Amino acid sequence: MGSDDECHSRRAKVLLPSAGVLTKEGIPFYHLKRYALKPIHLQRIKQCGIELKIGQFSNEENKRIKKNWERYATTNNVDCSRAYEFAGGCSREMSRDERINLLVFQNKTNFVPAMCEGFNDRTGKQVISRMLIIYHPGEKNKSEWNDELEKQFEKLYAEGCVARTISIRLQRPKTEVDYRINLLRRRTEKPYDFDSCDIELADSTRQALYGFVTKWLQPKNCPLELEMILPEKEKYNVADFALVQDQEKAMSYLPWLSLTWKMLRPVPVIKKLWLKEVERLRAACKRFNGDTEKAADVCMPRLPLISVGEYRHALNLFLEQKPMFLSHLDTKQLQKRIEEENLIGYCTNGLTESEFLKRMFCIHIANFRNATRAANLEDISCTDWITVLIEYLTHLDGSLRKWHYSMEYVRELVSQKQKKRYENALVNGNDTIMNANINDSFSHSRISDRTYEDRQKDCISYINNLEVNNTNSQKPARNDESVSSNVYTEYFIEKLKNLVESRILLFDEQRQRKFTKKLRKIMNKDEKLDALQRLVEKMISSLEDEQKLKLSKKYRKIMKRFQKMQEAENSESSVHCKLKEAETSGKNYTEEGETTNHANYSGEITEIAEDKVVR
């Protein structure tokens, strides 16, 4: 982790000029890239006395962006209609080579600096993000926001509709709906009472504050201006920082904004909490006659990190809710179970245990997804990811408080999960009794309490049962393949049905009734998939601009996954056929057609199971 941080730090420093904000070419360094700036960049901008604007762009700024684009397009012989593409709006539809070629061209022609000309108080990210909105295809025919739309919006929001639903019903971009929601909240909700944070801080909250200040007092991170007002020492601590008389000035050199994501609190509240700790640290310094080391040791909380065993226990509590998606996880119910199990006493960065654990799990899953490259990875549910993580943690010492994931082993666990899923789909079609055995053998809710030998016996027993059921039923391989095919087809039929239902609201009342009637007829047919595809394609052809792009993109994504699933299924079925051939070659049949010997096949399967478990 340390090497990664150093690498990111080096990349950030490459962007910075030796002094000031201008590069050798006379371009502000914050106009070079379209990405968000790091704390080190914001610190340099602040040192140079530049105040960056935040919030909505004015009409004059919008006109300036259009003027800059027209000048850039004319100078570099680019078609003016490609503005949305150059802003990054078509990147998902482009191939990898096309994206690279476009970025190379933009770097050669200084696209981002050209678009930022005249915006000394805006960053490259702000300007390009605004350009993306201005030249969005849906903006061409969009009417102005009026009183009628405001009434409809407030009514939908009062009914509890989320931003995505309001966006579809009003046919407005989701970003605009989010902006209107924020405005409405400011008008109707009471402002935060900063004096209400005078309550006693939890040790977890205090530890997050102390850790943040300690990090920025390290020699490699400490700003030069802050060093000038700190006492002359080789190593600073939080008490040294607290003793600075002009505390507001000292605090201004630290990037408190980066702490808001960790603590889920706004900057004014975090600063208020820190000032409370400053009083505590100053009192401790007086008690120890100015010894800042002792004062810092007394005041600084020492909560441990969560251990492997505690995290594994918490994940089993996650499984009690069986969440298909992480958003389905009820944190209030989870917090209640955590307190009942007394699963507390570790650092949570000032959050409740349930919020902290949910966020920690979310980060781990994001890392696993990036490291695990599988065609049908999106079909793995939240519950599946939990069981994969529990399985991984069973191999670690439960008392460990610092650990790293072996992504190679995680990939293997995910692959096994997908194979079991496929096997279960086949077994479900053959025998319901065997399905019960599978559920007993692979009960994930008790996975953390089982030993390695138990899991090995279960795996061998399961595959032996699979052999017995297969030999007794004597069903051809075609039945198994049709069952798995039906499972996947039903899944994608449901996906397309949900897609149609979610987009019916985009049409007028007459078309809504028409599409609803067609959907009802299709769902009563035997062959649904092809008919649903034709219905979605008809809906796409009836839409215009932004909504047409969105629906076609969603439809292509679903069908692409369906094609990948078919390819994976075909490869699995070919392996299955070979296994069936091996089975028939190891059997002798009497005149009545009964099996007289299948011990060899059963033995081979047992060996495969043992080898699979050992790996």
Burial of 282 (0-12, 13-18, 19+ CB in 10 A): middle
Spans of the chain, pLDDT less than 70: 1-15, 138-142, 189-200, 372-379, 421-488, 545, 568-615
User: What's the confidence (pLDDT) of residue 572?
Assistant: 53
Q: Which residue type sits at 463?
A: I
Predicted local distance difference test score (pLDDT) of residue 317: 92
139: exposed, middle or buried (Cβ count in 10 Å: 0-12, 13-18, 19+) = middle
pLDDT digits (tens, 9 = 90+) for 530-573: 888 888 888 888 887 677 788 888 888 888 888 877 776 665 55
Rounded Cα distance between 613 and 611, Å, is 6
* pLDDT tens, position by position, 54-88: 888 888 999 999 999 999 999 999 999 899 899 98
What integer pLDDT is reported at residue 461 of this predicted model? 44
pTM for the full predicted model: 0.46
The pair of structure tokens assigned to 603 is 């033995």
Asked if residue 157 lies in contact with residue 104, where contact means CB atoms within 8 angstroms, the answer is no
| Residue 487 to residue 476: CA distance in whole angstroms | 18
pLDDT of residue 424: 66
Instruction: Supply the pLDDT for residue 541.
Output: 84
| Closest alpha carbon to 396 in 303, 306, 458, 456 | 306
What pLDDT was estimated at residue 456?
Answer: 44
What's the pLDDT score for residue 568?
67
Tokens 């995505």 sit at which residue? 164
pLDDT in tens, 454-504: 544 444 443 344 333 333 333 444 444 444 456 667 778 888 888 888 787
The letter for the amino acid at 604 is E
